A and B are shown apart, each in its own frame.
Chain A
Amino acid sequence: MKKTKEDVGKEDRKPLQSEKQQQPFKKFFLSKKNIKEKSIKTVLFLTAISAIIVIFSIIIFLFKDGYPIFQTAGLWEFLSGTRWNPTGEPPLYGAFPLIVGTLLVTLGAMIVAIPLSIGSAIFISEIATPKMKTVIKPAIELLAGIPSVVYGFFGLIVLTTWLRISFSQPSGESWFAGSLLLGIMAIPTITSVAEDAISSVPREFKEGSFALGATRWQTISKVIVPSALSGITAGIILGIGRAIGETMAVMMVCGNPTYGLIPTSITNVFAPIKTLTATLGIEMGEVAAGSNHYHALFGVALLLLIITLAVNIIATVILNRLKEKQRSPSKKKTRLSVSIKQQIRKTLVFTIIMLCVLFLLISMGILLTACIGLVVGAVYYLRKKVSAKTGQRIAFIAIAIAILTVIVILGVILTYIISNGAGALSWEFLSQGPSNLGRSGGIYPAIIGTLYLVLGAIAIALPLGVGAAIYLIEYTRGGRLTKIIRAGADLLNGTPSIVFGLFGFAFFVLYLRMGFSLLAGQITIAFMILPTIIRTTEEALKSVPQSLREGSLALGATKWQTIKKVVLPPAAPGILTGAILGIGRAAGETAPIMFTAVVFSSFIPQSFVEPVNALPFHLYILATSIPNSARNQAGTALVLLLLVIGIYLVAVLIRNHYQKTMKW
């Protein structure tokens, strides 16, 4: 399918060029047209490379500000030092405990998220009736729509207290709390990618399996899930990327031990932990610009960026390979014989098992390892004994538990925020400024500030993103440049939001001397939502049938006329959906604006160079810094949640409306 489209795309460029050569007498007319066409193409090209420029300038600026620390402290010392104490005497810049902290929190998050997400994905795509699907799928998407600062607020107030009391710990702010919260946040990412992968398994596989007499569970576990494994893996890796880059929630619930802290044992899940992102979020606000500490923080940001980029590249490679495989399933690349492949696999699996055992032995001691081994063995033995039907029942119960857990989690979070926040909601709360440091009064300046930020960001990102997508789809399908641009957009998509914040701080606030300003915040957010807009616009353009373009070109319209009058109008709802999704993401983010635009204040900016207040930041400051403001905290959380979910809802409605009405 795709190939034919590409071929047509290539062909329809050629006639235009040959036309120009064959008809010299029309040269004047044509060249005037050509100038317009060419300049439009140039402009679109410029927008297309904006994503690459942004990602490169981020890397360059982080490197520029981070490099001095590698000189003063030494790269190896920075990576392997076990103490983070940048203001001590002597100052120590060991980021190793921060790296370990990030990895441990992510590991814990995956232990929470993977079973729940895969269970949910299987349930949605294979077990649920269509009616259930229409309820559960949006519910899980809703989890993705909750802003991370709202998760952090819930974690700080409810989760940590619950952990402290029910496990009788001195403090609930811990590795465990962070992992639980991050796990919940990663569920929608993993579920949606895994569900896509499972749904795209060819029907024939399933039918074949049923025809051979397999039960539903046997089909799912032995045919469908293994075929979708690479997609599921990619989902998990994307989830890992999200968990590593998350700032606000982690910062609010992990305890953040000074110097960074590596838990003495892997079972010590109630140890406080400090991640790379939390270090940035906490220390960036008060650090003296230009000091070694400042450079050290940019070193940490660079490290974070490299880790997340690596994770995302792996996911992209896996997903791309999957796409290729689906396109040409019969193609065999490897010339290795089956037996050698098996041999390699065997050793690989064996080493992994051995590594696991070793890891358990080191971290938990012999007794616990034996226990775990015993349980695993028992389960393994027992599952051979049960009949296929009982096996199916057990498996389905497990899946039901997984999906129920997810729904209950969502329910608990929503219920808490709605029941606590509803009391604070009133017309005064929405229309007045805060007083007494936000303890009383309303959140009007924060609402207006959020709107300003979001509208400015979309005004910058929309032309750039749409232009880039038009260039990618209409002008260069395939080709090396397209690949590079797309890779740039993918990398930008995987960049943690706090890294955008640091970049904005270094580039706009300090280098361009914008100060903490509305404009700096708008551009920073625009960069962050750019990939979302590029991708959704691309999807929208792709869905316009090629025949429409051909028809228009055949009638003598130029390329740009075709795009403007034929391609863009039907793609508009899709583009709009993308823009709204971008707005939703922008409205809920805290980290990118924390060091570029927002201040905890009660004024509404009169110009682009003044700072603003924003809802997520207002909530963050209330929850972490203003004692006795519980009522307004909950109220702000509810307003923010309603705003973001409302925006997403509009996007979903538009999408659904046009999916139904649009027929080619």
Chain B
Amino acid sequence: MINIIQKKLNKNIGSLIIGVSIIALLFTTLFSGCVQQQEGLSIVLIGRDSASGTREFFWEHVMGKENFTASLQEKNSNGGIYQTVTQTPGAIGYVGLGYVDNGVKALTINNITANPANVLSGTYPIARNLYVFTKGNATGAAKEFITFIQSTEGQAIVQEEGFVPIPTTETYNSTGKSLSGILSIGGSTTVFPILEKAKETFMILYQGLQITVSSTGSGAGITAVGAGTVDIGMSSRDLKSSESNLGLVKYTIASDAIVLIVNPENTYVDNLSLTQVKAIYIGEITNWNEFS
């Protein structure tokens, strides 16, 4: 028996490989076609990657440090989550307040809308601060820039970019000061738009100053400022224990709400309680029709 198989195999080994491969290809396509369809709309869970500051916050304050369900798809930026949610009817994701617009449907949490007023009054349940760090106390151009962002002029930019300003009454005064040289800034993708916009205004005030802002992620930003390769590091999270020995000083520059967004086509929900959000992300609720 084996002998016969062997003989025939030997003869046709080339065509056999090709044949089997083609059949295998056909089968993959065929079987994927007859996957059963479900009632309602399956929930596609979108979240940030495990190194993200946003995800860490979400995990601590919404999930109560319980594990996400294994099918959670990771994106490494707020924009990535937004993009997937706009493209996928069943998707749900969480982004910073600045990323919410008409392309997605923002859900209210416990019937509270995510907006600056509710964040400032403390009624919106999932809000956090955004930071910049310097190595030691900020000096020179870095100090001036941070003072500028924390002033009413800087906070106007924060608001313009869709984030929540921190309460301040101090105005920025540039008269009699002059700055020159290069100020380099790097870090969080969430904080990036604020500093990029602030930089444009600031560079008009000080013609001799060159500012470079780069978005690399919170961790990379903190590492870079710790190593002295940038002057200011941006972060959407506080320092971790492994980063506490870098000698960094923290400045709060804005607040941010984390908003749950779904596709506009999703007619099943407008509001979720925190418990429901958790149930979705733990994987207890897997279909949107459980809400109707």
> Which A residues form the contact surface with B (CB < 8 A)?
85-89, 108, 111-112, 114-115, 118-119, 160-161, 164, 167-173, 176, 220-222, 224-226, 229, 255-259, 261, 267-272, 274, 281-293, 342, 345-346, 349-350, 353, 368, 372, 375-376, 379, 383, 395, 398, 437, 509-510, 513-517, 595, 599-601, 603, 606, 610-611, 621, 624-628
Given contacts A169-B35, A286-B217, A625-B78, contact A261 B21 (CB under 8 A): no
- Beta-carbon nearest neighbor of A89 in chain B: B65
Contact B240 A624 (CB under 8 A): no
Contact A282 B74 (CB under 8 A): yes
Contact with A along B1-38 (1 / 0, CB 8 A): 01101100101111101111111110110011101010
Contact A115 B22 (CB under 8 A): yes
* A258 partner, pick from B41, B70, B89, B189, beta carbons under 8 A: B70
6 more A-B residue pairs beyond the given contacts A267-B35, A288-B243, with a C-beta to C-beta distance below 8 A: A108-B28, A111-B24, A171-B44, A229-B13, A290-B243, A606-B210
Contact A624 B80 (CB under 8 A): yes
* Cβ distance B25 to chain A, nearest Cβ, rounded Å: 6
Contact A349 B223 (CB under 8 A): no
Contact A270 B32 (CB under 8 A): yes
Contact A610 B73 (CB under 8 A): no
Which B residues touch A368, using CB under 8 A? 31
* Cβ distance B283 to chain A, nearest Cβ, rounded Å: 11
Contact B6 A349 (CB under 8 A): yes
Contact B79 A625 (CB under 8 A): yes
* Cβ distance B40 to chain A, nearest Cβ, rounded Å: 10
Given contacts A285-B220, A600-B215, A611-B214, contact A167 B23 (CB under 8 A): no
Does B273 sit at the interface, judged by CB under 8 A? no
Contact B50 A515 (CB under 8 A): no
Q: How far is it, in angstroms, between the C-alpha of A185 and the C-alpha of B78 when the chains are bound?
A: 29
Which B residues touch A168, using CB under 8 A? 37
Q: How far is it, in angstroms, between the C-alpha of A257 and the C-alpha of B67 when the chains are bound?
A: 13
Which A residues touch B76, using CB under 8 A? 281-283, 285-286, 624-625
Does B150 sit at the interface, judged by CB under 8 A? no
Does B86 sit at the interface, judged by CB under 8 A? yes
Q: How far is it, in angstroms, between the C-alpha of A229 and the C-alpha of B12 when the chains are bound?
A: 12
Contact A167 B50 (CB under 8 A): no
- Beta-carbon nearest neighbor of B104 in chain A: A627
* Cβ distance B141 to chain A, nearest Cβ, rounded Å: 16
* B13 partner, pick from A226, A346, A626, beta carbons under 8 A: A226
* Cβ distance A123 to chain B, nearest Cβ, rounded Å: 12
Contact A515 B14 (CB under 8 A): no
Q: How far is it, in angstroms, between the C-alpha of A224 and the C-alpha of B15 when the chains are bound?
A: 11
* B227 partner, pick from A171, A272, A350, A513, beta carbons under 8 A: A513
Given contacts A350-B2, A379-B23, contact A515 B51 (CB under 8 A): no
Q: How large is the interface on B (under 10, 10 to 19, 20 to 34, 35 or more residues)?
A: 35 or more
Contact B49 A286 (CB under 8 A): yes
Q: Which residue among B37, B70, B213 has the maximum number of chain A CB atoms within 10 Å of its CB?
A: B70
Contact A111 B72 (CB under 8 A): no
Does B178 sit at the interface, judged by CB under 8 A? no
Q: How far is it, in angstroms, between the C-alpha of A271 and the C-alpha of B20 when the chains are bound?
A: 24
Q: Can you pick out 20 interface pairs between chain A and chain B where the beta carbons lie within 8 Å of each other?
A: A229-B14, A256-B73, A257-B70, A258-B47, A258-B49, A258-B50, A259-B72, A282-B76, A283-B76, A290-B242, A350-B2, A383-B15, A509-B229, A513-B228, A516-B220, A595-B220, A599-B214, A624-B75, A624-B79, A627-B101
* A346 partner, pick from B3, B25, B73, B101, beta carbons under 8 A: B3
Which B residues touch A285, using CB under 8 A? 51, 76, 216-217, 219-220
* Cβ distance A228 to chain B, nearest Cβ, rounded Å: 9
Contact A111 B21 (CB under 8 A): yes
Contact A627 B73 (CB under 8 A): no
Which A residues touch B22, using CB under 8 A? 115, 398
- Beta-carbon nearest neighbor of B188 in chain A: A286
Contact A516 B14 (CB under 8 A): no
* Cβ distance B101 to chain A, nearest Cβ, rounded Å: 8
Which A residues touch B196, using CB under 8 A? 437
Contact with A along B34-58 (1 / 0, CB 8 A): 0101000111100101111101100
Q: How far is it, in angstroms, between the C-alpha of A77 and the C-alpha of B82 when the chains are bound?
A: 35
Contact A379 B19 (CB under 8 A): yes
Which B residues touch A224, using CB under 8 A? 14
Does B230 sit at the interface, judged by CB under 8 A? yes
Q: How far is it, in angstroms, between the C-alpha of A119 and the C-alpha of B27 when the chains are bound?
A: 18
- Beta-carbon nearest neighbor of A91 in chain B: B50
Which A residues touch B84, using CB under 8 A? 173
Which B residues touch A86, using CB under 8 A? 50-51
Q: How far is it, in angstroms, between the C-alpha of A256 and the C-alpha of B13 when the chains are bound?
A: 38
Contact with A along B88-127 (1 / 0, CB 8 A): 1111000000010101000000000000000000000000
Does B212 sit at the interface, judged by CB under 8 A? yes
* B229 partner, pick from A85, A220, A286, A516, beta carbons under 8 A: A516
* A283 partner, pick from B33, B35, B50, B67, beta carbons under 8 A: B50
Contact B103 A627 (CB under 8 A): yes
Which B residues touch A269, using CB under 8 A? 28, 31-32
Which A residues touch B243, using CB under 8 A? 288, 290-291
